[in-house]
Amino acid sequence: MNDFDDRIREIIGSDLYSRNIETIQPNIGLRCNNQCIHCHVKSSPERTEMMDWQIMQLILDVARRVQPKLVDITGGAPELNPLLRRFVAALKKDGQNVQVRTNLTVLLEPGMESIIEFYRDAEVKLVASLPCYLKKEVDFQRGVGVFEKSVRVLGELNRLGYGSDQRLILDLVYNPEDAFLPPKQASLEKEYREELSKNFGIAFNNLLTITNMPIGRFREMLKENGSFTEYQQLLKNSFNPETIETLMCRSQINIGWDGRMFDCDFNLAQGLSMSEGVPSHIRDFEPSLHCERRIVTGSHCFGCTAGHGSSCGGALIA
């Protein structure tokens, strides 16, 4: 039991349970070319954890059994796993709807020359991090030069049809640069659209706003500058009961690079396995147990229920 569980029980009269599996989210490796200050999985170029083909095959099997609405590939930078293209191709062959979370800058790394064309030909949906439409904010969070590189890659994605062709969806992700909640998603999306179009001629489909979770590297930063307790309190004080219905853990499973399963990528970052009695490795996947499992929570979960709510798919409430 923790304070989040207490709050949930007060409101719905029971623990939090999942209902189904609409999304399978494989985290295929923790290596990243960036080292952002808010990264919840603490990715960096030094990380070596990487999903192998054996685990990917198990995920392919589970996806065939579950028939999710979406396979949402994340990392690290998923592109740094040399098996990404093989995995995507196999998922597409099975008719799965595939999305890759890209940090954009990795697409300029050596060896990535044809990856945008691969994404286009496979009609992979892209969710790209761009925490602001201003250079100063992006470079502060993600490193000097990241904004300029991101804009260059977005231009190339647009040139190949991303953001305009209805089969090539390009969503952008915003997260605050400091310890505050995201603004309303719809109004920020309008601002992004106007600014990126006016300044760089860039088009995209949707903006997803995501709250910084008080874990990983962001937690370390908050601890260092003495604002961790205040931020955690802000998340708690902003608890919105309307978000409970659509919390992403209620309709997804997350699989780590080594095949361990989690309720979400934040629990993966916290090392919080699935609840007792539910198999914790993808090789033991059992629909009857995993579809309606008790969700393992912690104080970090207040990040998902604060304000308009937050998930890998953006705000939970319009």
Indicate whether 300 belongs to the interface with ligand SF4 (CB under 6 A): yes
By CB under 6 A, the count of residues binding ligand SF4 is 24
Reported as type and span, the H/E element at residue 252 is strand 252-255
Indicate whether 43 belongs to the interface with ligand SF4 (CB under 6 A): yes
Indicate whether 301 belongs to the interface with ligand SF4 (CB under 6 A): yes
Strands (E), 47-137: 70-73, 98-102, 125-129
Q: Which is nearer to ligand SF4, 188 or 235 (CB)?
A: 235
Q: Which is nearer to ligand SF4, 158 or 267 (CB)?
A: 267
3-32 residues near ligand SF4, rule: CB under 6 A? 32
CB of 93 to ligand SF4, least distance (A): 27
Indicate whether 128 belongs to the interface with ligand SF4 (CB under 6 A): no
Reported as type and span, the H/E element at residue 174 is strand 170-174
The binder of ligand SF4 chosen from 21, 24, 28, 39 (CB under 6 A)? 39
Phi, psi of 45 (to 5 degrees): -65, -20
The binder of ligand SF4 chosen from 18, 34, 211, 273 (CB under 6 A)? 34
* 268, 276 contact by CB (below 8 A): no
Q: Which is nearer to ligand SF4, 72 or 263 (CB)?
A: 263
Among the candidate windows 110-118, 147-155, 198-206, 245-253, which touches ligand SF4 by CB under 6 A? 245-253
Indicate whether 76 belongs to the interface with ligand SF4 (CB under 6 A): yes
* 302, 4 contact by CB (below 8 A): yes
Long-range contacts from 36-39, C-beta under 8 angstroms, 24+ separation = 36/141, 36/142, 36/143, 36/217, 37/140, 37/141, 37/142, 37/217, 37/218, 37/221, 38/131, 38/141, 38/175, 38/177, 38/212, 38/216, 38/217, 38/218, 38/221, 39/216, 39/217, 39/218
Among the candidate windows 19-27, 184-192, 194-202, 299-307, which touches ligand SF4 by CB under 6 A? 299-307
What is d(CA 213, CA 211) in angstroms, rounded to the nearest whole number? 6
Indicate whether 215 belongs to the interface with ligand SF4 (CB under 6 A): no
Contacts of 186 (CB under 8 A, 6+ apart): 318
Q: Which is nearer to ligand SF4, 293 or 300 (CB)?
A: 300
Residues that bind ligand SF4 (CB under 6 A): 32, 34-36, 39, 43, 75-77, 103, 129, 142, 247-249, 263-264, 266-267, 295, 297, 300-301, 304
